[in-house]
Structure 1
Amino acid sequence: MADNGLLIGIDFGTGSSKGVLVRPNGEMVAQEAREHRTSNPRPGFFEHDAEDVWWHDFTSIVEALLAKADGPIVGVCTSGIGPCQLPADADGQPLRPAILYGVDTRAYKEVAELTEKYGDDEVVRRCGNSLTAQSQGAKWLWLVRNQPWIYEKTRYFFMSHTFTVFRLTGEYVLDHLSASMCEPMYSPAARDWIPEWCEDVAPGLPLPRLMYSNQVAGHITPEGARRTGLPEGIPVAVGTIDAFSEALSVGVKDPGQIMLMYGSTIVADLITERAVPHPALWSLTGTYENTFSLAGGLSASGALTTWLRDIVGGVEYAVLTEEAEEVAPGSNGLLALPYFAGERTPISDPHARGVIAGLTLSTTRGELYRALLEATAFGTRHLLQSMAEAGAAGKRCVAVGGGTKGGVWTQIMSDVCGIEQDLPKYAIGAAYGDALLAAQVAGLADESTNWAQIAHTVRPNPDNKQIYDDLFGHYLDLYPATKDLQHHLSGLHPG
Structure 2
Amino acid sequence: MEKILTIDIGTTACKVIVFDLQGNILAKANREYPTYTPQIEWAEQDPLDWWKEAVEGIKQVVQVAGADDIVAIGLSSQRETVVPIDREGNVLSRAISWMDRRSRVEAEEISRQFGKETIHKITGLIPDSTFTATKLLWLKKHQPEILQKAYVFLQPKEFIGYMLTGQAATDHSLASRTMMFDINKRQWWQDIFEFVGVKTSQFPRLCYADEIIGYLKEDVAKFLGLKNGIPVVSGGGDRPSEALGAGIVGSRVMESTGTATNVSMSSNKVPESLDPRVVCSCHVIRDHYLIEQGINTSGTILRWIRDNFYRGEKEKGENVYELIDNEAESSGPGANGVVLLPFFMGSRATRWNPDAKGVLFGLTLTHSRADIARAVLEGISYEIRACIEILESMGLKAENIVSMGGGAKSRVWSKIKADILGKAVVVEKVQEAASKGAMLLASYAIGARKSLIEEKREVLFEYQPDSKNYEIYNRVYEIYNQLYNSVSHLYSKISQY
TM-score normalised per structure 2:
0.94
Structure 1 residue aligned with 2:198, among 197, 203, 214? 203
Counterpart residue type for residue 332 of structure 2: A
Distance (Å, rounded) in 2 between the aligned partners of 1:271 and 1:286: 8
Distance (Å, rounded) in 2 between the aligned partners of 1:340 and 1:436: 35
Q: Is the 8 A contact 2:268 2:289 kept in 1?
A: yes
Q: Is the 8 A contact 2:120 2:276 kept in 1?
A: yes
Structure 2 residue aligned with 1:146, among 142, 146, 150? 142
Distance (Å, rounded) in 2 between the aligned partners of 1:320 and 1:370: 8
Residue 375 of structure 1 aligns to a residue whose secondary structure is: helix
Deviates more, 1:196-205 or 1:413-422: 196-205
1:107 equivalent in structure 2: 103
1:485 equivalent in structure 2: 490
1:375 equivalent in structure 2: 379
2:74 equivalent in structure 1: 77
1:452 Cα shift?
Answer: 4.5
Deviates more, 1:376-385 or 1:275-284: 275-284
1:410 equivalent in structure 2: 414
Residues 350 and 290 of structure 1: is their aligned pair in 2 closer, same or farther, counting only changes over 3 Å? same
1:467 equivalent in structure 2: 472
Distance (Å, rounded) in 2 between the aligned partners of 1:9 and 1:333: 45
Structure 1 residue aligned with 2:268, among 273, 282, 295? 273
Residues 34 and 342 of structure 1: is their aligned pair in 2 closer, same or farther, counting only changes over 3 Å? same
Distance (Å, rounded) in 2 between the aligned partners of 1:100 and 1:447: 33
Residue 365 of structure 2 aligns to a residue whose secondary structure is: coil
Q: Where in structure 2 are the equivalents of 1:349-428 lying within 5 Å?
A: 349-428=353-432
Structure 1 residue aligned with 2:56, among 60, 63, 82? 60
Residues 133 and 389 of structure 1: is their aligned pair in 2 closer, same or farther, counting only changes over 3 Å? farther
1:141 Cα shift?
Answer: 0.5
1:419 Cα shift?
Answer: 2.0
Residue 149 of structure 2 aligns to a residue whose secondary structure is: coil
Structure 1 residue aligned with 2:184, among 186, 189, 201? 189
Q: Where in structure 2 are the equivalents of 1:46-445 lying within 5 Å?
A: 46-52=43-49, 54-70=50-66, 71-101=68-98, 103-183=99-179, 185-204=180-199, 206-252=202-248, 254-276=249-271, 277-314=274-311, 315=313, 316-445=320-449
Aligned Cα root-mean-square deviation (Å): 1.6
Distance (Å, rounded) in 2 between the aligned partners of 1:483 and 1:304: 20
Residue 335 of structure 2 aligns to a residue whose secondary structure is: coil
Q: Is the 8 A contact 1:168 1:223 kept in 2?
A: no
Residue 220 of structure 2 aligns to a residue whose secondary structure is: helix
2:463 equivalent in structure 1: 458
1:35 Cα shift?
Answer: 1.9
1:449 Cα shift?
Answer: 4.4
Deviates more, 1:72-81 or 1:222-231: 222-231
Number of equivalences: 485
Say yes or no: does 1:18 pair with 2:15.
Answer: yes
Deviates more, 1:343-352 or 1:158-167: 343-352
1:160 Cα shift?
Answer: 0.8
Q: Is the 8 A contact 1:256 1:272 kept in 2?
A: no
Counterpart residue type for residue 484 of structure 2: Y
State percent identity of aligned pairs: 28
2:316 equivalent in structure 1: none
Distance (Å, rounded) in 1 between the aligned partners of 2:159 and 2:55: 13
Distance (Å, rounded) in 2 between the aligned partners of 1:111 and 1:84: 15
**Gaps (5+ residues) in structure 2?**
314-319
Q: Is the 8 A contact 1:130 1:278 kept in 2?
A: no
Q: Is the 8 A contact 1:9 1:433 kept in 2?
A: no
Deviations 1:47-85 (A, max 9, x none): 111102x10111111111111224321111121111211
Deviations 1:203-231 (A, max 9, x none): 23522111221221121122332343332
Deviates more, 1:451-460 or 1:140-149: 451-460
Distance (Å, rounded) in 1 between the aligned partners of 2:102 and 2:451: 38
Distance (Å, rounded) in 2 between the aligned partners of 1:128 and 1:435: 27
Q: Is the 8 A contact 1:181 1:282 kept in 2?
A: no
4+ long deviations beyond 6 Å: none
Deviations 1:82-121 (A, max 9, x none): 12111111122211111111x2211110111111111111
Counterpart residue type for residue 474 of structure 1: I
Higher relative contact order (CA 8 A, sep 6+): 1
Residue 185 of structure 2 aligns to a residue whose secondary structure is: coil
Distance (Å, rounded) in 2 between the aligned partners of 1:419 and 1:474: 21
